[in-house]
Structure 1
Amino acid sequence: MPVPAARPIALTAAERQRLKKAAYGHKTPHQARVRSQIVLLATRGRSNARIAVEVGVHVDTVRTWRGRFADGGLPALADRRRSGRPARFTPVQVAEAKALACQLPAETGVPPARWSCPDLAAELTARGVTDSVSASTVRRWLRQDALKPWQYRSWIFIRDPAFRTKAQRVLDLYARTFDEVALGADEYVISSDEKTSVQARCRCHPTLAPGQARAMRVNHEYGRGGALAYLAAYDVHQAEVFGRCEAATGIVPFMNLVEQVMTREPYASAKRVFWVVDNGSSHRGQRSINRLAARFPNAVLVHTPVHASRLNQIEIFFSIVQRKVVAPNDFTDLHEVRDRLRKFEDRYNATAQPFQWKFTTSDLDDLLARLDRHTPTDRHQESSVALAA
């Protein structure tokens, strides 16, 4: 019986380059590497038997991939689509599982506050939706629509009816305008707040420095060395921080911070210095505005809306302090805390640049319009503005 002749192979320059890259690449999967080597050796006129010996596969394997490439080119070297095992669950069952995941457990009479994949699998079986289903299968279904019912995000309705007016005033100051008039060169914007309860935790064992394949290690047990309040004022456009440590927050500590800033140049002789603050008890309401103006006539206190302290840029600086100075909180006493904060201020002011604040009044209007479309009527009557956090 005559032996069938080997299929001839002809390559273009581009095909040869791609086959070489696949045949000799370090990250190429083994199957793709073998198939590419078979085709390359076939272009050199070698027999199927010889190629099988050189590559280390059966001659039928060589004959198969040589023939497929001759018929279909490079795409033919990929695995063909296979029917696979018949689906065990119907699309209706999958849809019911996703619908259940989009319900609160309390609405279905289940005690957990949030769904987990094992809980969903058990509930589907209990309801008779499926005979049995594994948690990994449920997780795969949910992943198709990026459903994660075990996670949650908090949100809040703003109670401040003048939210937009107050927020616009703050955002305009960041853009160097006030009441639609550009700020002059002798006008400044200060963002200020307090970081409460900075603790001095003395670890019972020394903190270990990081090493090869090992993170820094901090002992879990500690002794309490007291706590202090860190007050800071941040010049929004000059990127300079002025801070102080106090035993507690209050009107007097806040006024001490104002005194520290307003008695130095260029703020002492400035035309106006705008102080952006939240609605904390130390600087809340009209009394705080009058108190600041009485002590420093060129100081103007500007409040952020209620529940909108994130509009205060000092919060960004406090987050930097938390990451770079406070955490993981290993101090011998409060003196070390004060010293570390003071030195960090000097280091920060030496290289700081203004924050790239990109949220403008136009973005605010777009956000409020989008939220207003999703605000229920009864909630809308309570507050004209909603803010997702």
Structure 2
Amino acid sequence: MQISDQTVHTFLSFRIPSSLQANERRAETKPPRPGQPAREEFQYTRHGAVCVTANWHVVQGQLFATTITETRDNHDFARHIAQTIATDPQAGWVFVVDNLNTHCGAPLVELVAQQLGINPAHLGKVKRHGVLKTMTSRREFLTDPTHRIRFVYLPKHSSWLNQIEIVFGIIKRRALRRGSFTSKQDLIEKLQQFIEYFNQHMARPMRWTYAGYHTKKQQQIERPRTWRELRKTRKQWQQFALVGNYL
């Protein structure tokens, strides 16, 4: 199945590694007053946690088809991809993801096969035979460049996903820090409101220019010296002691 001249969407798909806690502070935060800082309650009541899975549109610079669920297993990620594809069912889709196991699970393969019109009976069974047998065989199917819907698995330690990680950092700092949420639904609604605000007023494409080339001056990064190694050089040790006494 060769991709034609239809629209092709490219997304960085990522989920927040840790669950977001819906914590409610047991006392109301008191705002600052002249000569007195704000006072914030440190005790809180837990109302559960949610997980955010989002797509970063590389060209538009926006979060797209964000999913907020209570769990984050293979089925959750497959449902997230299904929700994303449903926004433009006839288009071509390229999802750039990391090497998490749930990004190449059996439910995802079955979803893509269904979208491509492939008979599910030809996929085999997990840990037995066929496309579904191993993680390697599933990745080979999902990364097939002839498919209208395909995945790109980034090498470890690559920087491309840093784009959407930066956006998640903004969400945590501006929507969650010092927040108080009465329930999981309250947390979900506030996250959705902030993401909508972000797309309208803050989002913009990132100029991700790093190409992986070597720098002109390659300086070897040395590990910090141990105490014993530092004491062997009298001059450096004396300077270090002088700084320590000064502080």
Do they superpose with TM above 0.5? yes
CA shift, 1:367, in A, is 5.1
Alignment match, 1:223:
45
Relative to structure 1, is the Cα distance of residues 214 and 356 closer, same or farther in structure 2, using a 3 angstrom cutoff? Answer: farther
Alignment pair present for 1:294 and 2:100: no
Paired position in structure 1 for 2:210: 360
Matches within 5 A, 1:55-204: 186-195=7-16, 196-204=18-26
CA contact (8 A) 1:331 1:337 kept: yes
Contact 1:208/1:218 (8 A) holds in 2: yes
Aligned to 2:96: 276
* Number of the residue aligned with 2:30: 208
For 1:320-363, what per-residue CA distance to the aligned partner results, in whole angstroms no more than 9, with x for missing partners? 110111112311111110100111122122224433233332xx
Paired residues of 1:304 and 1:312 also in contact (CA < 8 A) = no
Q: Is the 1:276–1:312 Cα contact (8 Å) retained in structure 2?
A: no
Number of the residue aligned with 2:230: none
What corresponds to 1:257 in structure 2? Answer: 80
| Count of residue correspondences | 186
Cα gap change, 1:305 to 1:248, in 2 (>3 Å): same
Q: How many angstroms apart in 1 are the aligned matches of 2:153 and 2:33?
A: 47
Question: Does the C-alpha gap of structure 1 residues 292 and 275 become closer, same or farther in structure 2, counting only changes over 3 Å?
Answer: farther
Indicate conservation of the 8 Å contact 1:209/1:216, yes or no: yes
**Residue of 310, 318, 338 corresponding to 2:168:** 318
1:145 matched residue in structure 2: none
CA distance in 1, matches of 2:217, 2:113: 39
What CA distance in whole angstroms lies between the structure 1 residues aligned with 2:102 and 2:217?
33
Identity of aligned residues (%): 24
Q: Which has the higher contact order (CA 8 A, sep 6+)?
A: 2
Match of 1:168 in 2: none
Instruction: Choose 230-239 or 208-217, whichever is displaced more.
Output: 208-217
Q: Output the CA distance in 2 between the equivalents of 1:303 and 1:352.
A: 28
1:339 corresponding residue in structure 2: 189
Q: Deviations over 1:262-314 (max 9, x none)?
A: 1013xx222x22111111221148x6884564244422111122244663422
Alignment of 1:245 with 2:95, yes or no, is: no
Matched to 2:97, the amino acid is V
Relative distance call for 1:209 and 1:356 in structure 2 (3 A) is same
Instruction: Specify whether residues 269 and 284 from structure 1 end up closer, same or farther in structure 2 by C-alpha distance, changes over 3 A only.
Output: closer
Please state which structure has a larger fraction of its residues in strand.
2
Once residues 202 and 348 of structure 1 are traced to their aligned partners in structure 2, the CA distance between those partners, rounded to angstroms, is 24
Q: Structure 1 pair 292/306, CA: closer, same or farther in 2 (3 Å)?
A: farther
Contact between 2:15 and 2:54, CA under 8 Å: does it hold in 1? Answer: yes
SS at match of 2:47: strand
Q: State which structure, 1 or 2, has the greater radius of gyration over its C-alpha atoms.
A: 1
What code does the residue aligned with 1:201 have?
N
1:349 aligned counterpart, secondary structure: helix
Q: SS at 2:55's partner residue?
A: strand
Aligned AA (2:13): S
Please list the CA deviations of residues 50-101 of structure 1 after superposition, one character each: whole Å capped at 9, or x if unmatched. xxxxxxxxxxxxxxxxxxxxxxxxxxxxxxxxxxxxxxxxxxxxxxxxxxxx
3-state secondary structure, aligned to 2:209: coil
The reply on whether 1:370 has 2:191 as its aligned counterpart is no
Unaligned 5+ residue runs, structure 2? 117-147, 223-247
Whether the 8 Å contact between 1:233 and 1:257 is mirrored in structure 2 is no
User: Is this contact kept in 1: 2:163–2:206, CA < 8 A?
Assistant: no
Q: How far apart are the structure 1 equivalents of 2:154 and 2:11?
A: 13
The amino acid that maps onto 2:68 is: C
Q: What CA RMSD, in Å, does the superposition of the two structures yield over aligned residues?
A: 3.1
Q: So what's the TM-score if we normalise by structure 2? A: 0.64
Q: Is the 8 A contact 1:190 1:234 kept in 2?
A: yes
Alpha-carbon distance change, 209 to 189 in structure 1, aligned in 2, over 3 angstroms? farther
AA aligned to 1:360 is Y
Once structures 1 and 2 are overlaid, which stretch shifts more, 247-256 or 291-300? 291-300
Residue identity in the other structure for 2:53: L
